[in-house]
Chain A
Amino acid sequence: MTRVLLFGRLSDVAGWRERAFDPPPATLSALRALIMRDNPALGEALLAKGVQAAVDKIIVRGDLALSAGAEVAFLAPMSGG
């Protein structure tokens, strides 16, 4: 099972904040493809400028193999203070 978390405006686009994907996708790009098929608006939003991905709380650029229990977070542009 892959746990997927959405932050910022991405959760509004999707209509959910957290979802389990089972069976787990083998790679980050496979997960993106799954999301694109399931919810094209979210799939597109994940490709927008400034959106980052983190796997097990580490920022990832490009593709990566996912372990079965991976936690994948998609992060909209950040703003604090």
Chain B
Amino acid sequence: MIRLQTEPFEPGALLTQFCAGRSETGAVVSFTGLTRGGDGQTARLELEAYPGFTEAEIGRIADAAHARFSLHDLTIVHRIGDIGPGEAIVFVATAAAHRREAFEAADHLMDYLKSRAPFWKKEHGPDGARWIEPTERDRTDAARWDR
């Protein structure tokens, strides 16, 4: 499942739902990203997507990850619109027969989402607003999977 939504989500509920009814899956790994307040520097984040394009691009990477890591299933939920400090911004869960594939697939998907998925992130703080672009670390993290 790939979903973009403006409404807040509850990561625990998503994980419970993701684990339900699996008799052949030995490993589920989940990652939840929270919005950092940055000591008052971030009053809110504004996340923009390109409707239609963003879902399709994430779907392409999800399909590739499915095959590469022999996944049984995966879920990606990403917030768009206004997000406050402490709120969950992204949830990724992967299911596989064994833990290694599930861990690696979740790591891979998050590296992709941070620097290559079509989202644009603006930070609003006391000194105004600024666009956040991927850091060098984000880029090298994502490039680890290009081999």
Show the binding face of A for B, using Cβ within 8 Å. 5, 7-9, 12, 50, 54, 57, 73, 75-81
Within the assembled complex, what's the spacing in Å between the Cα atoms of A77 and B122?
Answer: 12
B50 & A7 in contact (Cβ 8 Å cutoff): yes
Interfacial chain A residues near B56, Cβ < 8 Å: 57
Which label, helix, strand, loop or mixed, suits the secondary structure of the B interface? mixed
A78 & B53 in contact (Cβ 8 Å cutoff): no
A8 & B90 in contact (Cβ 8 Å cutoff): no
Task: State whether the Cβ of B132 lies closer than 8 Å to any Cβ in chain A.
Answer: yes
B116 & A81 in contact (Cβ 8 Å cutoff): no
Closest 5 CB pairs of A and B: A80-B119, A8-B120, A81-B113, A81-B90, A9-B131
Which residues of B from 62 to 114 have beta carbons under 8 Å from A? 78, 89-90, 110, 113-114
Within the assembled complex, what's the spacing in Å between the Cα atoms of A17 and B53?
Answer: 16
Within the assembled complex, what's the spacing in Å between the Cα atoms of A26 and B12?
Answer: 51
B117 & A54 in contact (Cβ 8 Å cutoff): no
Q: Would A78 and B131 be within 8 Å (CB), given that A5-B50, A7-B50, A73-B50 are in contact?
A: no
B131 & A80 in contact (Cβ 8 Å cutoff): no
A80 & B53 in contact (Cβ 8 Å cutoff): no
Within the assembled complex, what's the spacing in Å between the Cα atoms of A56 and B52?
Answer: 10
A80 & B78 in contact (Cβ 8 Å cutoff): yes
A78 & B116 in contact (Cβ 8 Å cutoff): yes
B33 & A81 in contact (Cβ 8 Å cutoff): yes
A77 & B118 in contact (Cβ 8 Å cutoff): no
CB nearest to B48 among chain A residues = A7
B114 & A77 in contact (Cβ 8 Å cutoff): no
A75 & B113 in contact (Cβ 8 Å cutoff): no
- Extra pairs beyond A77-B133, A78-B118, A79-B134 (13, CB < 8 Å): A7-B118, A8-B48, A8-B133, A12-B131, A54-B50, A54-B53, A57-B53, A57-B56, A78-B115, A79-B132, A80-B78, A81-B33, A81-B117
